Amino acid sequence: MTEAGSSAQPRAALPIEQLRAQFPALSQQINGQPLIYLDNAATVQKPRCVLDAVLRCYTESCANVHRGAHTLAERASEGYERARGAVQRLLHAASAQEIVFTSGCTAAINLVANGWGNRHVGSGDEILVTGLEHHSNLLPWQELCRRRGATLRSVPLDPQGQLDLQSYERLLGPRTRLVAVAHVSNALGTLNPIAELARRAHAAGALILVDGAQAVARCPVNVAELGSDFYTFSAHKLYAPFGLGVLHARAELLSDMEPLVTGGGMVELVEAERASYTAPPGRFEAGTPNLSAALGLERAILWLQALGLERVQAHEQDLLGYAREQLAALPGVRLLGGGPALGVVSLMVGSVHAHDVSTVLDRSGIAVRAGHHCAQPVMRHFGVPATVRASFAVYNTRAEIDALARGLERVREIFGG
């Protein structure tokens, strides 16, 4: 049997059993079966150390960030800024002041589409998206173009679900102000050649925003090497709590953006009729920030870095290669997409509806996502209403993919076809 064809874990692999034991959620039984969690593109489970960090926040440093001079308030403020530093190091950003905390990846993209877009995009300008985007990296640009009288263009996909780079080159023009593209597609797993896309965008005089929601927990990210101008992600897909997102933007871009939300915590001087705002990133963080999620994110980043993101990527590549090989060999199963990808397989079982597939799998304790994955243009490209998506994380194993394959065989037995 080839390396990809064996259900044994490859050598130099992550210490899987030890690692799985750190995730309380993974020891659950679902419908009488051990949980096999393969919906990691939606959100990942959280390790004990992250849960502990959240609890510790509420027991030891529950105070409002940047709002007081007492000990708890200082702990809170220090912790929050430490978390910002951890994100800076994760992304290899030039400065922690280039890291803005938001409520999620969606909010981070909207901040750019409004805060940057309202100032820098005008009538006749163009925004270039791709046929792979999650709705969160599509609708904000549709709205921006509608508001500003600009034109939205989209890079088409080839039959494998990869970006058509010749069309990309053709669509980049003198009026293109910004390219908005996923690092990794949530619907297909497609891994986009960001450095190359950024180089070409810059040569055309455009900026590039990279939606890193599906990438940050799966591979090392270096915004300087990628050449991204804006990079966004959500903490909850990085083994951290819900309710927190990140925008990285180069300092000169941040200082030329409008705040979307105004209020407490982002001001220097306030009079009855006017106010002046603090420098970034505080300018974009009005209101009480999500300290517990930030401390959880800091912990998650340190935990992931201790595992080693290169090792994490190798593990996920191994799982994806194995899944593609095993699942494509099943009669009646059609995989969507191909080529360079990370962490995700999208498939159909004959003409069985994705929701039915997911329901049958759930009876065996297997959690997958069924639907359009907030990426309806991708579904339209393949002429399907929905797919079944299995997506991986550090704690998944080849044995779980074998169980998924058996589950899909059961679907065929039940529904035929």
Q: Are 219 and 193 in contact (CB under 8 A)?
A: no
Interface pick for ligand PMP out of 45, 114, 137, 228 (rule CB under 6 A): 137
Interface pick for ligand PMP out of 61, 176, 234, 397 (rule CB under 6 A): 234
Closer residue to ligand PMP in complex, CB, 238/366: 238
CB of 129 to ligand PMP, least distance (A): 12
Q: Are 183 and 214 in contact (CB under 8 A)?
A: yes
Q: Stretches 68-76, 100-108, 329-337, 339-347: which one binds ligand PMP (CB under 6 A)?
A: 100-108
Please tell me what DSSP assigns to residue 287: S
CB of 209 to ligand PMP, least distance (A): 11
Q: Stretches 45-53, 80-88, 209-217, 255-263: which one binds ligand PMP (CB under 6 A)?
A: 209-217
Tell me the residue ranges of DSSP E strands in 183-270.
Answer: 207-211, 230-234, 245-249, 267-270
Write the binding mask 353 to 392 for ligand PMP: x where contact by CB under 6 A, - elsewhere. ---------------------x------------------
Chain centroid to CA 214: 3
Closer residue to ligand PMP in complex, CB, 177/373: 373
Write the binding mask 175 to 204 for ligand PMP: x where contact by CB under 6 A, - elsewhere. -------x---x------------------
Write the binding mask 325 to 354 for ligand PMP: x where contact by CB under 6 A, - elsewhere. ------------------------------
Q: What is the distance between the alpha carbons of residues 206 and 190, in angstroms, rounded to a whole number? A: 23
Does position 211 bind ligand PMP by CB under 6 A? yes
Residue type (1 letter), 38: L
Q: Which two tokens stand for residue 308?
A: 């080693």
Pairs from 249-255 (Cβ < 8 Å, separation ≥ 24)? 249/98, 249/100, 249/112, 249/116, 250/94, 250/98, 251/94, 251/95, 251/97, 251/98, 251/280, 253/116, 253/207, 253/229, 254/97, 254/98, 254/100, 254/280, 254/281, 254/284, 255/279, 255/280
Residue 374 known to be catalytic: yes
Interface pick for ligand PMP out of 136, 290, 358, 397 (rule CB under 6 A): 136
- The total of other beta-carbon atoms located within 10 Å of residue 347's CB is 23
CB of 173 to ligand PMP, least distance (A): 26
Closer residue to ligand PMP in complex, CB, 136/317: 136
Chain centroid to CA 32: 31
Q: Is 87 helix (H, G, I), strand (E, B) or coil?
A: helix
- The total of other beta-carbon atoms located within 10 Å of residue 338's CB is 16
In 3-state terms, the chain is what percent helix, strand and coil (to 5)? Answer: 45, 20, 40
Closer residue to ligand PMP in complex, CB, 126/133: 133
CB of 374 to ligand PMP, least distance (A): 6
Q: What is the distance between the alpha carbons of residues 297 and 151, in angstroms, rounded to a whole number? A: 37
Interface pick for ligand PMP out of 104, 117, 131, 371 (rule CB under 6 A): 104
Q: Stretches 68-76, 99-107, 253-261, 274-282: which one binds ligand PMP (CB under 6 A)?
A: 99-107
Backbone CA torsion sign across 18, 23, 24, 30: negative
Q: Report which of 185, 159, 155 is spatially closest to residue 171, judged by C-alpha positions.
A: 155
Does position 396 bind ligand PMP by CB under 6 A? no
Interface pick for ligand PMP out of 22, 88, 106, 326 (rule CB under 6 A): 106
Write the binding mask 33 to 52 for ligand PMP: x where contact by CB under 6 A, - elsewhere. --------x-----------
**The residue to which tokens 């034109």 are assigned:** 151
**The residue to which tokens 């300008």 are assigned:** 125
Task: Give the residues across from 352 on adjacent strands.
Answer: 349
Closer residue to ligand PMP in complex, CB, 374/405: 374
Kindly determine how many residues on this chain lie close enough to bind ligand PMP according to the rule CB under 6 A: 15
Residue type (1 letter), 226: L
Does position 134 bind ligand PMP by CB under 6 A? yes
Q: Which residues bind ligand PMP (CB under 6 A)?
A: 41, 104-106, 134, 136-137, 182, 186, 211, 213-214, 234, 245, 374
Query: Which residues are designated catalytic?
Result: 374
